[in-house]
Chain A
Amino acid sequence: MNLKLKVWRQKDANAAGKLVDIEARDISPDCSFLEMLDIVNEDLLSKGGEPIAFDHDCREGICGTCSLTINGTPHGLSETATCQLYMRKFKDGDTIYIEPFRARSFPILRDLIVDRSSFDRIQQAGGFITARTGSAQDGNAILVPKKKADAAMEAAACIGCGACVAACPNGSAMLFVGAKVSHLALLPQGQPERAQRVLSMVKRMDAEGFGNCSTHLECEAVCPADIPALVITRLNREYTIASLRESVV
């Protein structure tokens, strides 16, 4: 099939970007969205142009690198991530808008590639359990009821793609932070640092310039890892309790 692409092109972080019209010709419905872009890039190259720069690595929906907003929706209508979107979801002659993940905390580096290091900095602020290498007790010494373990796993499944932020009209990172806080707060291992963790992660999140949550639920809708908005409720709860405890005792 043939498609009309409107692709965001931007030379670098400081340059101004704009949507550029590009044709994609005889695309097989079985090829993936990124493979479609590969084909388009080959075409651009043969015409002496520069290929469209986009982020990707595993192409399996797990690494969280791919980050395209397709027709206004981060990851498009993919079940999971952009790389798992297949062209059979489009019709011949469709016009497709391809933009980067947009948010103040995700500055554009080039074309469709953004800088998500703000996520790493939030993680560094406390998204871990202090467990010195080699000092751990036997794995079975800590019992974790299946229900708890499964709940923790559900939250831990976040692939750190940033679609939640890109989709949120407020550019809020609550789903991402909520997922990590939930994962660790649910496990017995996470208890000692529980309060400190949520306080410092939220502090960092705000410092990075992410917005606030006003329950638009776009994040939940686009999340490739199916992280439920309930993690945001938990984040708010954990945060309130922690700050109260801080201010009282």
Chain B
Amino acid sequence: MNAVLNAAIPSGPLERKWEKHKFDSKLINPANKRKYEIVVVGSGLAGASAAAALGELGYKVQCFCYQDSPRRAHSISAQGGINAAKNYQNDGDSVYRLFYDTIKGGDFRAREANVYRLAEVSSAIIDQCVAQGVPFAREYGGLLANRSFGGAQVSRTFYARGQTGQQLLLGAYSALCRQIAAGTVEMHPRTEMLDVVIVDGHAKGIVVRDMVTGAITSYAADAVLLATGGYSNVFYLSTNAKGCNVTAAWRAHKRGAFFANPCYTQIHPTCIPVAGDYQSKLTLMSESLRNDGRVWVPQKKGDHRPPGDIPDAERDYYLERKYPAFGNLAPRDISSRSAKEACDEGRGVGPGGLGVYLDFGDAIKRLGEPAIRDLYGNLFEIYQEITNENAYKAPMRIYPAVHYTMGGLWVDYNLMSTIPGLFVLGEANFSDHGANRLGASALMQGLADGYFVIPYTIGNYLAPQVGKRPTPDRPEFKATEDAVRECTRRLLGIRGKRSVDHFHRELGRIVWDYCGMARTERSLQRALAQIPPLREEFWKNVNVPGENESLNVSLEKAGRVADFLEFGELMCLDALARRESCGGHFREEYQYPDGEAKRDDEHFQHVAAWEFAGEGGKSIRHIEPLIFEAVHPSVRSYK
């Protein structure tokens, strides 16, 4: 049955695969490219770069995003930086090391061939962005500056102040603008994709809703690219933008695209804790803070003294204690889990005891306040703005928050999903980060997929498809449009008592409590027992006012939450089925005495890809075995 999951990995030695594949890939002559229409859903790093690159090649591209401008895609909020195996610092980095670190960081749950290709194209990304005018940080001599990020042992991270994602996205956006001006790309902002149109088993178009007029229309295409980002917002509270959603991916899933590893979610250790029940989103504090901040909680549980009054002897610098080698720079999943443990033991600080201290006291003593202000000034300001606390005087309070999702639609080496003609890029696919993503690698992947992978691999699919694009008057389009209209009609017809946000919050609470940082058989069972009733109540009792034929914020949200309510269940199913701990997926039953995640390579060294089995049907779990030829899976130890 995993015959369906043919990853199409090229033969030959790892370091030759991509070269060979590019050569073997079918080319489409320039004159013919004009004949192809490609739909790109998403204008983040992955979508914008893909649309720009394909438009540049001569394809006719239709690009969609739900924001009012492609420049606002959620990629904009990435702070820390982007990795590339440039080895500019001469500190022993290389394509192979970046590849190895990514595989290891992913806890040996990613596909070697994809990851190696990612590392291979990484340095071309930096060159491309520099050429576009991305103002990366520079040294005095004018060379590009690097920093070490997320506990990496080499300095391979390129950055633009604390706004790397913004600058990279604006670079991709400018490339996109160039193509829009050239007429090769047509941009559709404030337009939400609500379904994929399948014709003879191939993805040949999408159905969208104009978020201003409510008009529901279709676009026919020779191929459809989804670059619609991650699903962190299934947890309601996350560091993602409010609009981030699983809708595009989920509706594609329901049309036949397998969903891979939905249980792989990344929790970021350094976020500002929840302040009250009105909280609408969580704010990330750059990881770089952990370079100088020391993480601690009181040794005694329920110790409510102000931090200043707690003597050093009565503090527990638990990361330094448990992971002497890495200390406060221990990987994200480990730091996050340790924080949770501390709080579960009743030693958490701040409102609700859901927080730990990130203390700069020593750093300020050592380097002086000006030096710290120099390094983290803007972060301290953000913290002050939000919490009204001065982190120079008292330690920051931080707590982990959902941040990134490694899982996504299953794709092969060509980034094509299990639906022929449907490609998935960026955070929306599952391909490169295994069970845990390294800091500064998501931006890299988004741009790699868009600029340097899809332009080559899409040819293999398109070449034989010439002239096969259906016209939107085909019954399949009509039928899909009707399905979408029916769905909105239903939502608007309920006129229940509870708001959409109420259900979203409730769902978020369930998955955070039972499928969050640590999961158990029991907790997951609980979640699986609670989600379906919630979903039923949603369809009976949600209140979506207004009508379809206008800008209707509640309606937009309702559609997305409806999908989260279905997706959340699959996420828990996947977490339940994966009876091992790996990377971001931690099952308390499976851990070493020292609390380190315990993989089960014998039974779970594979990708789990779920097939939708119809409304109410039980999703089917397929597997793609992971074969490691180059690296040997080892126990990930950060002692």
| A residues with CB within 8 A of B | 11-12, 28, 30-32, 34-35, 38-39, 41-42, 45-46, 48-51, 53, 55-65, 79, 84, 86, 88, 109-110, 113, 115-117, 119-120, 123-140, 142-146, 149-150, 152-153, 156-157, 159-160, 183-184, 187, 189-190
Given known A-B contacts A65-B68, A117-B69, A133-B451, A139 and B133 have beta carbons under 8 A apart? no
Kindly state the separation between the CA atoms of A136 and B382 in the bound complex, as whole angstroms: 36
From A28, A30, A61, A131, contact of B131 by CB (8 A): A131
Interface of A: prevailing SS:
loop
Q: Beyond the given A28-B275, A144-B135, A189-B130, please list 12 additional residue pairs across the A-B interface where CB-CB is below 8 A.
A: A50-B546, A56-B242, A57-B243, A63-B77, A63-B241, A64-B72, A120-B177, A123-B173, A128-B177, A133-B49, A134-B452, A149-B137
Q: Report the nearest B residue to A119, measured CB to CB.
A: B69
CB pairs A–B below 8 angstroms (26 shown): A30-B276, A31-B278, A32-B280, A35-B279, A41-B499, A57-B74, A59-B283, A62-B166, A63-B76, A64-B72, A88-B388, A109-B212, A123-B177, A124-B181, A127-B177, A129-B174, A132-B56, A133-B53, A146-B140, A149-B136, A149-B137, A149-B142, A152-B133, A159-B166, A160-B69, A187-B135
Kindly state the separation between the CA atoms of A134 and B132 in the bound complex, as whole angstroms: 11
**Which B residues are in CB contact (< 8 Å) with A144?**
135, 138, 142
Given known A-B contacts A110-B551, A117-B189, A134 and B124 have beta carbons under 8 A apart? yes
From B385, B455, B546, contact of A79 by CB (8 A): B385
**Which B residues are in CB contact (< 8 Å) with A116?**
68-69
Kindly state the separation between the CA atoms of A11 and B549 in the bound complex, as whole angstroms: 11
Asked if A120 and B278 sit within 8 Å, CB to CB, the answer is no
List 8 tightest A-B contacts by C-beta distance, closest first: A143-B142, A128-B174, A136-B131, A131-B131, A136-B127, A149-B138, A139-B130, A153-B135
Asked if B167 and A156 sit within 8 Å, CB to CB, the answer is yes
Kindly state the separation between the CA atoms of A11 and B138 in the bound complex, as whole angstroms: 49
Asked if A146 and B212 sit within 8 Å, CB to CB, the answer is no
Most buried by A among B56, B68, B275, B385: B68
**Which B residues are in CB contact (< 8 Å) with A183?**
133, 135
Is B530 interfacial (CB 8 A cutoff)?
A: no
Is B529 interfacial (CB 8 A cutoff)?
A: no
**Which A residues are in CB contact (< 8 Å) with B189?**
117, 120
Kindly state the separation between the CA atoms of A57 and B65 in the bound complex, as whole angstroms: 13
Asked if A140 and B143 sit within 8 Å, CB to CB, the answer is yes
Given known A-B contacts A51-B553, A57-B67, A127 and B174 have beta carbons under 8 A apart? yes
Shortest A241–chain B CB gap in Å is 20
Query: CB-CB contacts of B24-67 with A at 8 A, as 1s and 0s?
Result: 00000000000000000000000001001100100000000001
Kindly state the separation between the CA atoms of A34 and B278 in the bound complex, as whole angstroms: 10
Asked if A60 and B142 sit within 8 Å, CB to CB, the answer is no
| B residues with CB within 8 A of A | 49, 52-53, 56, 67-72, 74, 76-77, 86, 88, 123-124, 126-133, 135-144, 160-161, 163, 166-167, 170, 173-175, 177-178, 180-181, 187, 189, 212, 241-243, 275-276, 278-281, 283-284, 381-382, 385-388, 451-452, 455, 499, 501-502, 543, 545-546, 550-551, 553-554
Kindly state the separation between the CA atoms of A45 and B387 in the bound complex, as whole angstroms: 29
Shortest A52–chain B CB gap in Å is 9
**Which A residues are in CB contact (< 8 Å) with B173?**
123
Given known A-B contacts A56-B242, A153-B161, A133 and B128 have beta carbons under 8 A apart? yes
**Which B residues are in CB contact (< 8 Å) with A88?**
388
Q: Report the nearest B residue to A32, measured CB to CB.
A: B280
Shortest B87–chain A CB gap in Å is 11
Shortest A197–chain B CB gap in Å is 11
Shortest A154–chain B CB gap in Å is 9
Asked if A139 and B242 sit within 8 Å, CB to CB, the answer is no
Asked if A63 and B67 sit within 8 Å, CB to CB, the answer is yes
From A28, A123, A137, contact of B174 by CB (8 A): A123
Kindly state the separation between the CA atoms of A54 and B131 in the bound complex, as whole angstroms: 37
Shortest A121–chain B CB gap in Å is 9
Asked if A45 and B142 sit within 8 Å, CB to CB, the answer is no
Asked if A184 and B554 sit within 8 Å, CB to CB, the answer is no
**Which A residues are in CB contact (< 8 Å) with B212?**
109
Kindly state the separation between the CA atoms of A142 and B189 in the bound complex, as whole angstroms: 35
**Which A residues are in CB contact (< 8 Å) with B550?**
11-12, 110
Shortest A139–chain B CB gap in Å is 4
Kindly state the separation between the CA atoms of A193 and B137 in the bound complex, as whole angstroms: 23
From B77, B143, B382, B386, contact of A143 by CB (8 A): B143
Kindly state the separation between the CA atoms of A110 and B281 in the bound complex, as whole angstroms: 24
Asked if B139 and A139 sit within 8 Å, CB to CB, the answer is no
Asked if A63 and B72 sit within 8 Å, CB to CB, the answer is yes
Q: Report the nearest B residue to A157, measured CB to CB.
A: B163
Shortest A127–chain B CB gap in Å is 6
**Which B residues are in CB contact (< 8 Å) with A84?**
382, 385-386
**Which B residues are in CB contact (< 8 Å) with A65?**
67-68, 72
Shortest B226–chain A CB gap in Å is 19
Kindly state the separation between the CA atoms of A56 and B280 in the bound complex, as whole angstroms: 12
Most buried by B among A30, A57, A152: A57
